[in-house]
Chain A
């Protein structure tokens, strides 16, 4: 039960972060991606703020034997740069640019009760399940996501 509570708390923090920064609003994200238009660098500042804290967290983790509610920390990140990494990232980037949603803000935006959020998230989940079935088989967990 404790790892469910901590996951809920972490999720709330994440949702708050997306709302405070307005990254839950596709207009804000598209403003970052639109370098040729009225460029809005805010997203880079969100990433910078998140990176500093997360970097420290990984340093703390490296000095500890195990997390509080689990047996081990994640395996070290994989190293190889392959076509799946680059091709997948390119496919994701196109989807991101079409609507202005990446997975976190898309899910978080359900709080606003718009039907478009539900359509996007539904299509995204179908894409995830389909890609898993085709590329990995049904029961493989991904490493760094």
Chain B
């Protein structure tokens, strides 16, 4: 567990919780990223600008952190085009069909004790774990 970083994880998690709290108590919305992004695919009047602003904030927040705190922060992201495309497509399809992702089901749904969200979170974590196992320990060396 040499990469384990519990303190930044808890602090970052609290920020995410504050985001969900702000969106809920001010706008009456669930902070589920797949839902916020996916809602742009079926735009309705008065329902587009806040989504774009939230998405802009997601990028600005990470950018500001990088600029102010960790200028050398880098992401380890696969260079494989097929993996990126298939991973992106499956993520888009799966979160739309199941109505949520790590934030919508995993954080907001579980926080309101939704059985659907608890099941969804267990399933996507198990599927993610199985996928990584196959990629790293079966196909990989």
Contact = CB atoms under 8 A, between A and B. Distances in A.
Interface of A: 3-28, 30-31, 33-58, 60-61, 64, 66-74, 77-81, 84-104, 106-112, 114, 116-117, 119-132, 135, 138-145
A104 B5 contact: no
Interface of B: 1-6, 8-42, 44, 49-51, 53-66, 69-70, 73-79, 81, 83-112, 114-117, 119-121, 123-133, 135-137
A71 to B, nearest CB: 7
Contacts of A124: 37, 88-89, 91-92
B24 to A, nearest CB: 5
Contacts, number: 538
B56 A11 contact: yes
Contact of A97 (B9, B33, B135): B135
A123 B23 contact: no
Nearest to A28: B3
B65 to A, nearest CB: 4
A48 B6 CA distance: 11
- The 3 closest A-B CB pairs, nearest first, are A11-B57, A15-B61, A127-B92
A70 B90 contact: no
A24 B103 CA distance: 13
Contacts of A42: 3-6, 8-9
Contacts of B125: 33, 93
21 contacts: A11-B53, A11-B60, A16-B65, A19-B69, A21-B15, A33-B125, A42-B5, A47-B102, A47-B107, A84-B98, A89-B120, A91-B97, A93-B130, A112-B62, A116-B77, A120-B85, A121-B88, A127-B90, A132-B41, A144-B35, A144-B105
